[in-house]
Structure 1
Amino acid sequence: MVFQGKTVFVAVCVIVLLFLGIPIHIEKESDKPAEHLFTEYVSKFNKNYKSNITEFMSRYETFKETLAHIRELNQNQPPGGAVYGLTKFSDMSPGEFQERHLQPRMHHHIRLRLQRRHNDSLHHNHHQHQHHHNHVQRRAVGDDLPLVVDWRKKKVVTPVRNQKTCGACWAFSTVETVETMSALKTGVLQSLSVQEVVDCAKNGNLGCDGGDSCNLVEWLVTNNVPVEPEKEYPLAWQTQTCRIKASDTGVRVAPNFTCNYMVGEEDALARLLARHGPVAVAVNAANWQNYLGGIVQFHCDGALQLINHAVQLVGFDRTGPVPFYIARNSWGTDFGDKGYIYLSMGANTCGVGTEVVSLDVL
């Protein structure tokens, strides 16, 4: 293989962190030339363009830009902070990554809902507005909350899924929360059908082309639709014709679901996680592209217009100097820490408080 242009030597300086009990296993790269790193990368991740010289060279140029970006992200990270390095997404430009794995237009759904709520509040007195929209008790996070909440330890969290290039994070995170709340109620953990809601959910949802967790739970409740077991309606990673059956085998969402804007109110979010259960949240995941592990504290703007993804929060850890949420992603177990990512608490990191969905099941 002949490489064009100047050889770029890079040091992807990552460390193995055993900080705060987070297991992070990261390969440290030596000062290898970029072309050597790239050939190793293509082999390691079994990229299908290794025999296409045109795409190979194009990906190599993008890869070099990624290396520079990784180096910037890793500068001045505190102990236990996020570590960035080469992932299966590292040969994509940021724009391609957003289009293939995120939802750049997700924030429109949230903005419309917040505007509707604002308009509603103009026609209701303060008491009515609070009663209708805020079901979460607002109190400071005190010693009455555990230092660690991890619902995985209760055996009520299903295995990490991989949404691939189906832009249905809104469906994955919500169905995962239905699974957990059903397990907490019945004692039986079962995988439910993400594909069913991808194919069938309306109310502004567009299958693999995007959607919104709040719109989904509203649709499920309004139409009294049970989420079927996954084995009855398996994942296909594309939008198909809806095949809802008249069945009692599924799980129905209760009408008392909440969909809250909790920016600046993460004490209430922590209480919700501890006292009620996991939640689905909307986030900005643009800089997760090269995340390997550690606690994300920086380089993750929480502005509403940047919200582009949805994940499930399954707990938090407040034992260390940087308290963090435990977020379950849907990019497979080969992303992050076995499919999970850690987000610092209290500063709306990655926009984690922008849209918080909690629910019960019937």
Structure 2
Amino acid sequence: MADVRQILTILGMTCLLFFGIPIRIDKPEKIKEKLFLTYVNKFNKSYKYNVTELNRRFASFKESLKMIEELNAGRTFNSSAYYGLTQFSDMDFGEFNTHHLKNNHEKVKKRVQMRQKNSMNNNEASNEILVTRLRRALLPEKFDWRDKGVVTPVYNQKLCGACWAFSTVETLETMNAIKTGVLEKLSVQEAIDCSSSVNDGCSGGDICSLLQWMFAKQIKIEPATDYPLKWKTGVCLLKGASYGVGITEYACNTYSKNEKLILDLIANHGPVAVAVNALTWQNYLGGVIQFHCDSSLDMLNHAVQIVGYDLTAEIPHYIVRNSWGESFGEKGYLKIAIGSNMCGLAHEVASIYV
């Protein structure tokens, strides 16, 4: 009878953790071990037969269990973010940061600080220009560019830390579709390989440095079919700027004191690419992130695309497209609360004109 109870306990904990329902994890070590083995099998981890690696991963797994409980304990609404076991739950913070984040936060920090001193950069549209160009119609309460059929499927950057390239090219794809009516995947690999003078390929980079390079060099991004994704930094194969999609102008601004301008941009212009702090996203399953996500400049480590927002929701939020595959979060997306620069998303906001 004891064995049956133990099995039922493990099964119950497994279901709860995979669906992010808050539970206490102060359970006997044996139960944690069996829960871990269930996890290893569910995600088909390659180290399942390597005892040394299993032990190392188990230690990280137990830390994730603690973090999951702490994060879920802060939920205030049914729609609040909830956390559970993900494909990343067997990584320690250092490994997760190294393999899945890597955005160049120092470069972003310098750009933001410069922006705070100067209202505009030579090749960037200023806040005033943007506000003038926006239609200034009544802001819709809800908006989602996916509903317009101009957002490509979610990418998976795998172990290539080029989120800066993914989020920028995703935004270029949508802006081109809005203008031409044709939705086409463009080459993230071209951005990774060819902007090496300003970024570091799969080792990190900055969305605004990429846009500045594209504008200054009049670079066009080729279709992905002509320059396919390799998930590693390679030799630039760009043979000129004769075809593809380029930008006529871009803007990189800081809206930490006025997020309404981000909403205006999304509804009246198009999606934006932003720098964020994604460290606590490791065990994210769904819901709106409203706590536990540091917004300081020093913590920016990732880049994503914002495709919409919902002001009518229980917790008003942005609709954020990530690049960790469709198995992450809500089919590759997550929600972040509006109004408090959550996860630092308002520090660097990039918009594109094609």
Task: Establish whether TM, by shorter chain, passes 0.5.
Answer: yes
Tell me the residue number matched to 2:143: 149
Letter in 2 for 1:199: D
CA shift digits 1:155-179 (9 cap, x unpaired): 0000000001101000000000000
**Post-superposition offset of 1:230:** 0.1
- Alpha-carbon distance in structure 1 between the residues aligned to 2:22 and 2:314: 28
Q: Which of 206, 211, 215 does residue 205 from structure 2 map onto?
A: 211
CA contact (8 A) 1:190 1:229 kept: yes
Local SS of the residue matching 1:170: helix
Aligned to 1:188: 182
For residue 114 of structure 1, report the CA deviation from its aligned partner.
Answer: 2.8
Would you say the 8 A contact 1:202–1:219 is kept in 2? no
Relative distance call for 1:192 and 1:76 in structure 2 (3 A) is same
For 1:282, the equivalent position in structure 2 comes to 275
- Work out whether residues 60 and 91 of structure 1, in 8 Å CA contact, stay in contact via their aligned partners in 2: yes
1:260 to 220, 232, 253: 253
Cα separation, partners in 2 of 1:227 and 1:143, compared to 1, 3 Å: closer
After TM superposition, the score normalised by the length of structure 1 is 0.86
Aligned counterpart for 1:159 among listed residues 127, 130, 153: 153
Contact 2:322 2:332 in 1 (8 A): yes
Shift of 1:26: 2.8
Query: AA paired with 2:69?
Result: R
Q: Structure 1 residue 332 and structure 2 residue 342: aligned?
A: no
Shift in alpha-carbon separation, 1:261–1:14, aligned structure 2, 3 A: farther
Match of 2:6 in 1: none
Alpha-carbon contact 2:151-2:174 (below 8 Å) kept:
yes
Distance 1:247 1:264, change over 3 A: closer
Identity %: 49
* Post-superposition offset of 1:11: 5.0
Name 1:272's counterpart in structure 2.
265
Secondary structure at the aligned position of 1:114 is classed as helix
CA contact (8 A) 1:259 1:357 kept: yes
Aligned residue among 34, 57, 61 for 1:59: 57
Displacement, 1:221?
A: 0.8
The answer (yes or no) to whether the contact 1:343–1:349 under 8 Å persists in 2 is yes
Please list the CA deviations of residues 194-219 of structure 1 after superposition, one character each: whole Å capped at 9, or x if unmatched.
00010001442011011100000110
- Match status 1:41 vs 2:39: yes
Determine the C-alpha separation between the residues in 2 that align with 1:316 and 1:66.
30
Structure 2 residue matching 1:281: 3-state secondary structure:
strand
CA deviations 1:195-250 (Å, max 9, x no partner) are 00100014420110111000001100110110000000000000000000235330
Pairing partner for 2:285 from 286, 292, 299: 292
Q: Does 1:303 align with 2:296?
A: yes
Correspondence for 2:233 among 219, 233, 239: 239
Q: Does 1:228 align with 2:227?
A: no
- 2:69 is aligned to 71
Separation in structure 1 between the aligned mates of residue 240 and residue 207 of structure 2, nearest angstrom:
24
SS in 2 for 1:327: strand
Matched AA of 1:267 = K
Q: Is the 8 A contact 2:20 2:285 kept in 1?
A: no
**1:356 corresponding residue in structure 2:** 349
Shift of 1:320: 1.9
The answer to whether structure 1 residue 249 and structure 2 residue 248 are counterparts is: no
Question: How far has the Cα of 1:120 moved from its partner?
Answer: 4.5
Give the whole-Å Cα distance in 1 for the aligned partners of 2:207 and 2:111: 12
Partner SS state of residue 230, structure 1: coil
**Alpha-carbon distance in structure 1 between the residues aligned to 2:324 and 2:125:** 37
Q: Distance in 2 between matches of 1:131 and 1:63?
A: 46
The gaps in structure 2 that reach 5 residues or longer are 1-8
CA apart distance, 1:116: 3.2
| Matching of residue 313 in structure 1 with residue 306 in structure 2 | yes
| Residue type of the alignment partner of 1:86 | L
Task: Find 2:172's aligned residue among 167, 171, 178.
Answer: 178
AA in 2 matched with 1:277: G
Q: Which whole-Å deviations, capped at 9, do the CAs of 1:321-358 have from their partners, x for residues lacking one? A: 31000000000001000000100000111011010000
2:3 equivalent in structure 1: none
- How far, CA to CA, are the matches of 1:302 and 1:279 in structure 2? 18
Question: Partners of 2:185 and 2:169 in 1: how far apart?
Answer: 9
- Separation in 2 of the partners of 1:258 and 1:229? 23
User: Could you tell me the TM-score, scaled by structure 2's length?
Assistant: 0.88
Structure 2 counterpart of 1:22 = none
Contact kept? 2:171, 2:272, Cα under 8 Å? yes
